A and B are shown apart, each in its own frame.
Chain A
Amino acid sequence: MEAHPPGKVNRRTFLAGTAAAAGGLLAAGVVEQAEAAGRLTSPVRDQVELTFWSHQFTPRETLDKIHIKEFERQNPGVKVNYTTYSEPGYETKLQTAMASGTGPDLFNLYTGVADPLVQGKTVAPVDPQAMGYASLAALKKQYLPGFLDGFTWNNTLYALPTEVSNYALYINKLHFIEAGLNPAKDYPRTWDDIVALSKKLLIVKNGKVLRRGFEFEYATANDWTGTEWDLAGMAYQLGGTVFNHDQTASLVNSPAWVRSLKVYYDFVHTYKLGYPAMPVCSVDFTNGKQGNVSMLLSGYWYAPSVRDTNKTVYKNLMTVQFPRFKDAKHSNGALMYAYAHFVNASSSATKQRLAWKLIETLDSHPAEYLAGAGLLQPRTSLLSSATYRNDPLIKPFLEDARTTPYRPSSTHLSEVQDAIRRAIQRSTQTAVPPQQSLDMAKADIDKILKGV
């Protein structure tokens, strides 16, 4: 064998060294993974860690954290890892985590996007015994009649509401008084009233809009309320629905829908009272001393935001029921939606039981969540609370909620919602006639329902 010059590495030595280095790196990675897995499952011997995800909403998070601490005190050995994420990315993050098996043990989620999770059997049915109830019937008695329908799939209850929401009409009383109106008597009951009052409340100076009487949301990128479901609520008042009875076709171009979208269309293009290019809702209602929209549709959760940012407006707020058509067949508001607590079906049996126990702790304080976060948890105990009885703004929401259905349940609800959004955009922003716009929406939705 040849002698190698000193200082030079021969082939065998080089290959051996490379293999040893690679093996060492691999071993270090395996050890690190094992240690990390150990840390996740049992950071302290016999301690159980629950991961709990929710979307960001500061008033609710504050209360959640208080009750989580209460739960941990009552259950020594249980640690709750509570994380919140900003929307809209939260729903995407949660869905992909659940799909990849890395989802949290329990989470708070808008029920409109929960259908795929339920159909994919990734969430567990409600466990009333873990929550301390003798039976499902005993649990259901804690809730207002009919309100748990929105959390039931295939006759099985899969979630419990953290908030149910609909939209009522917020009114700035100061603007009414300034315009010579009496807010207690002259508030709008119908869509025609909305138009008439908007004309009186609108202020335009030197071609610049200083105040709008009422404003819809026009489904622009900055909109933060579900205007599609305001429109759907209007159509439902006139006897319309989103789908046919077996969800094989859409009915969004029916006369009820066309007449409803025409209200939007006329508001912008015929009466020139609506301004899709101007931002709505939170900024303008609390803009300056008195806000520059006199009336708008929003959820009850909006009230704490106004309270915290513009005390003058908050003191002069009133709420009334969602406007109706004069000849409405049904007396309903904007279609209801909800956020709910779900439990991950892949979590261990122990973690699932503890998760339902935590949910009972969180959901047992409806008066606190109403007062602190503006969230309506439909528990029967809420109605007898002083918070509810003394709240001047909540009653129209609850009155409407008793007669308003939830948004329809569908695996394709996000796509359907977007198709309705585009119809509103076409008619309000680019003046496409409502019938034409809704015909296009129906074609889109029928294709969605047919699937690929």
Chain B
Amino acid sequence: MQTTGVIPTTDRRPRSRWTPNRRRNLFGLLFVAPAVIFFGVFNLYPMARAFYVSLTSYDLLTPPRFIGLENYAYLLQDDRFRIALTNTFLFMIGTTVPLWVFSLGIALVMARQFRFKELYRTLYFMPVILSGVVVAIVWSLLYQENGLINTALSPFVKGTLFWLTSDQLAPWSIIIMAVWQGLGFYMVIFLAGLQNIPADLYAAASIDGANAWGRFRYITLPLIRPTALFVTVISLIGGFQTFTYQYVMTQGGPGDATNVIALLIYSAAFSYLKIGLASAMSMVMFAIIMILTLIQFRVLRTDNLSYV
């Protein structure tokens, strides 16, 4: 019988386990391994360890003693924790809402062309590059009874304002300062988002008769949603984690009027050596931030966003 060069149907060579697909996957794993190991060692492991420590009574100097959920039970009925949580939410909302509104407003102005625009942009951004500690110390001096702010307000305000020693005013004093410092950062982010919106959309809208508010509402706001999501997430997380201002300016006082979660955690861990309790508070803080972030992603999701 003539052979026609057909390859035998049964291939007796052993099949390699390392198919091209598997090799590609292996190389991919090897390349991401350093980052994954780094993340595991410096993120996942500490989180798992912190969760374990939150189930113990631990003062660093003696071995941890397992106490189950006692730390969490304590937090549920602790007035100081409740006050700190309330103050933290107040600070978070008190800073983020003005930051969104004012930074977007200033970004809209900065997106136009006018004289000395770069100078104004720099001036707005300058507080951002200052250290939080420096800002807090300077504003502490401004807020003094005989400080610059009271002196400037004295023709308009009867009596003295106790910016940092009044339990009513102290939280707002810190919020005002925080908004002042953060404004430039979010302005720059919004500006970048605004500059990504195609100009011809505005042109087309104008031709179709849309006024300034219409263009803002139907073009700017929807198309700036990804930027807004980023700003929202970052500002809320940053607001919830506030520590420096309260530590430097008031130490959480007067009473607990400006005490926030991060400051309470710091005191519990490093002043009182209650590491277990501090870890439990950290876990609660982590859970709250996670929930807030998931809510934001759900509310501000941008998967149906398009320019068409």
Contact = CB atoms under 8 A, between A and B. Distances in A.
Interface stretch (B113-121, B138-146, B288-296): B138-146
Given A414-B272, A418-B271, A277 B59 contact: no
Interface string A387-431: 000000000000000000000000010110010011001100110
Given A279-B144, A452-B276, A418 B70 contact: no
A422 B167 contact: no
B253 to A, nearest CB: 5
A336 B162 CA distance: 32
Interface residues of A, number: 41
Interface string B39-81: 0000000000000000001011110000100110010001010
A265 interface: no
A221 interface: yes
A120 B60 CA distance: 9
Contact of B255 (A276, A279, A430): A430
B98 interface: no
Interface string B118-160: 0000000000000000000000100011100000000000001
Contact of B254 (A92, A222, A430): A430
- Between A98, A122, A208, the greatest number of chain B beta carbons within 10 A of the residue's beta carbon is seen for A208
B301 interface: no
Interface string B84-120: 0000000000000000000000000000000000000
Interface string B188-220: 000000000000000000000000000000000
A451 B272 CA distance: 11
Interface in A85-129: 92, 95-96, 98-100, 116-117, 119-120, 122
Contact of B249 (A96, A221, A421, A425): A221
A438 to B, nearest CB: 13
B274 A452 contact: yes
A429 B167 contact: yes
A425 B253 contact: yes
B277 interface: yes
Given A208-B146, A425-B253, A452-B74, A277 B160 contact: yes
A18 B30 CA distance: 9
B57 A452 contact: yes
Given A418-B271, A452-B71, A452-B276, A426 B146 contact: no
Interface string B11-39: 00000001000010001001000000000
- Between B71, B160, B251, the greatest number of chain A beta carbons within 10 A of the residue's beta carbon is seen for B251
A418 B78 CA distance: 16
A418 B274 CA distance: 15
A429 B272 contact: no
A278 B145 contact: yes
B166 interface: yes
A422 B256 contact: yes
Contacts of A451: 57
B19 to A, nearest CB: 12
Contact of A11 (B23, B70, B166): B23
Interface string A353-392: 0000000000000000000000000000000000000000
A120 B165 contact: no
B137 to A, nearest CB: 10
Contacts of B67: 452
Given A99-B60, A452-B57, A116 B273 contact: yes
A17 to B, nearest CB: 11
A418 B144 contact: no
Contacts of B61: 95, 98-99, 116-117, 119-120, 122
B270 interface: yes
Interface string B245-269: 0001111011111000000000100
A429 B248 contact: no
A452 B74 CA distance: 7
A387 to B, nearest CB: 37
B166 A430 contact: yes
A452 B250 contact: no
Contacts of A99: 60-61
A167 interface: no
A425 B272 contact: no
A95 B60 CA distance: 8
B271 A412 contact: no
Contacts of B270: 92, 95-96
B183 interface: no
Contacts of A18: 30
Nearest to B23: A11
Interface string A190-223: 0000000000000000001100000000111110
Contacts of A14: 27
B164 interface: yes
8 contacts: A18-B30, A220-B251, A221-B164, A221-B251, A277-B145, A277-B162, A278-B144, A429-B165
Given A415-B271, A415-B272, 10 more contacts: A92-B270, A95-B61, A116-B273, A117-B61, A208-B146, A278-B144, A412-B272, A429-B255, A452-B67, A452-B277
Interface of B: 18, 23, 27, 30, 57, 59-62, 67, 70-71, 74, 78, 80, 140, 144-146, 160, 162-167, 248-251, 253-257, 267, 270-274, 276-277
